[in-house]
Amino acid sequence: MNQTQALKILKTGANVFLTGEPGSGKTYAINQYVAYLHSHGIEPAITASTGIAATHIGGMTIHSWSGIGIKSKLSKTDLNKIATNDYVKKRVGKAKILIIDEISMLPPQTLQMVDAICKEVKKSPEPFGGIQVVLVGDFFQLPPVVRKSFNEESQENLFEETPVRFAYDAPVFKQAEFVTSYITEQHRQDDKELVSVLSKIRSNSFDELSLGHIKKRKIDSLKVPGYAPKLYSHNVDVDIVNDRMLAKIPGNERLFKMAAKGHEGLINVMKKGCLSPENLYLKTGASVMFTKNNTKEGFVNGTLGIVEGFSKETKLPIVKIRNGRKIKVSPADWTVEEDGKVRGKLTQIPLRLAWAITVHKSQGISLDEAVIDLSKVFEFGQGYVAISRVRRLSGIYILGFNDMAFRVDPEVLQKDKEFFAQSTDAQTVYSRFSENEFEKMRKDFIVFCDGELDTSSVVSKDHEKKPATYDETLKLWKEGKDIAQIAKIRNLSEGTILGHVANLIEKGKIDRADLVRVVPPNLSRDLSKIHAAFKNLGTDKLSPVFNHFQGRYSYDELKLARMMME
């Protein structure tokens, strides 16, 4: 199944399990779905199983959203207390769509608790109280961290204890009748040898040929390239390496403190998930990694560089990235939005020391190069996740590995075969629907969500809200502000503002030619080439053009280029 087919199924309102290999574009498909919902005045609940994943998608953890917090068990008293909490009751009560990212790291017990809370708040016996639930993730990647609490042993529990570990073992996983959408595209790696190695690991058929490719990338610790980040399985190794390397550089440290605004509990969760630290220490010569996407400035989450110095005027760091470009790095915001309002915001320099990073925190990052130490791997999937972060085999430097490094969970392997078969069956079933039938399902679901069928006019209960928000964006645009500036002023995501601009262009309130002032120079030079690709391929879809250029341009850049086409 490809992204377009998965998106089509999502729009019908079915519960969906969206899966696929690392780099297949799961997050991109979800972002497309969220943008589609926003265009119809629908606000989905966007959550993730971990704080790190939540910061990547601009949402909150499922634990915070549902009100379960750190609970691993749920009694009747707990359920009643959570379901009557004003914040949870309002949040869950109005929810029509719930997205949970990185589902592989969510224990089955937690998914059951979320189901129970949704049913209780919605007063509905349907799975998740009738909310459309979209689970996103790949069970070959990092599994849940199971912690046992001795003081919970005597507590009442609504659910029987079972020796299971993964979300798909939760009874509600079957009851909700998820449509499995297994995306088989690949957008991160274009190296056939690396794709082959990853495929062998994923199928538990890692052989001598695959081992040979890995051994060719083995390198002595004294010869590792200093610019490439090291991926470790343990936090302690990361901290030791980063502290030691920073101390070796002469000169004084510069401290950049994170600013935070919002509820203390939410802010604490956001801080744990943010890749940029609360206290960022830098020196000239420090190896750093960008922790946020900003295609306008020329960097994405995972871009590597060296601190060249600090601006005399602003005192902010100047980073030289691998292509030689120097970037004056300004503070960035990480936000959690709800009802179109920012509930929590962190502001920090979008950098972290990059001599070392844990495999866990590397999820969601794409790297050109990485030094990988798999000698202490202790969990199925850690080696797979680490290697899959890198775009090409030539960018991988292996310090060592153990017997666990290239193994995946046999149980997950069998389950994945089932998921693939289910996806194939779903593709067959949905292929039988006509376009008119799809259109009816799509419209019916928009109405169910109290959304707007006609995106050019407002027919929902948010009658006053939509025109006002577009007008406010238009006002700032006319003042000469760019996408990033408008997003910061309005406390909204750049993606949301980009959607506003696209809508305003369609309504003729913004001249398409005016987009030229927010297009990065490197993209501006290649616009005619990109436009020609769209025309020659006979498509207005981003994925075929992305593949045509072999990932040379990001999806955001292609989206901007497409918006400038007549």
Q: What is the DSSP string of 217-270?
A: TB--GGGS-TTSPEEESSHHHHHHHHHHHHHHS-S--EEEEPEEEE-HHHHHHH
Q: Among 111-115, 142-146, 332-336, 492-496, which range has the highest average pLDDT?
A: 111-115
Q: What is the pLDDT of residue 211?
A: 87
If you ran DSSP here, which 8-state letter would residue 338 be given?
A: E
How many Cα atoms sit within 13 Å of 317 on the Cβ side? 30
Q: What is the pLDDT of residue 187?
A: 62
The dihedrals phi and psi of 532, each to the nearest 5 degrees, come to: -65, -35
Residue 546: name the closest of 29, 87, 114 by CA: 29
Least confident interval from 357-361, 464-468, 525-529, 555-559: 464-468
Cross-strand partners of 334: 346
Contact predicate 51/44, CB 8 Å: no
Stretch (H or E) spanning 39: helix 26-39
Q: How far apart are CA 479 and CA 183, in angstroms?
A: 42
Per domain, the residue ranges of the chain are 3-187, 192-401, 462-563
Summarize pLDDT for 27-69 with one digit per residue, the tens.
888 888 988 998 888 889 888 877 655 555 566 788 888 888 7
Cross-strand partners of 47: 60, 100
Q: Inform me whether the pLDDT recorded for 455 exceeds 70.
A: no
Give the list of residues 6+ apart from residue 471 with CB closer than 8 angstroms, or none: none
Q: What is the 3-state secondary structure (H, E, C) of 142-169?
A: CCCCCCCCHHHCCCCCCCCCCCCCCHHH
Q: What is the pLDDT of residue 164?
A: 63
Q: What is the pLDDT of residue 181?
A: 93
Residue 66: name the closest of 127, 133, 111 by CA: 111
- In the CATH scheme, what is the code of domain 3-187? 3.40.50.300
Q: What is the pLDDT of residue 457?
A: 41
Amino acid at 554: S
Q: What is the dihedral of CA 417, 233, 208, 21, to 10 degrees?
A: 30
Q: How far apart are CA 231 and CA 37, in angstroms?
A: 37
Q: Where are the beta strands (DSSP E) in 349-461?
A: 351-353, 356-358, 370-374, 396-401
Summarize pLDDT for 201-255 with one digit per residue, the tens.
888 888 888 888 888 888 887 777 767 888 877 777 788 888 888 998 998 899 9
How many Cα atoms sit within 13 Å of 282 on the Cβ side? 30
Summarize pLDDT for 177-210 with one digit per residue, the tens.
999 999 887 666 567 888 888 888 888 888 888 8
How many Cα atoms sit within 13 Å of 423 on the Cβ side? 21
- In the CATH scheme, what is the code of domain 462-563? 1.10.10
Band of the pLDDT at 341, cuts 50, 70, 90?
low
Residue listed under structure tokens 């909700």: 176
Whether the full predicted model's pTM is greater than 0.75, yes or no, is: no
How many Cα atoms sit within 13 Å of 562 on the Cβ side? 20
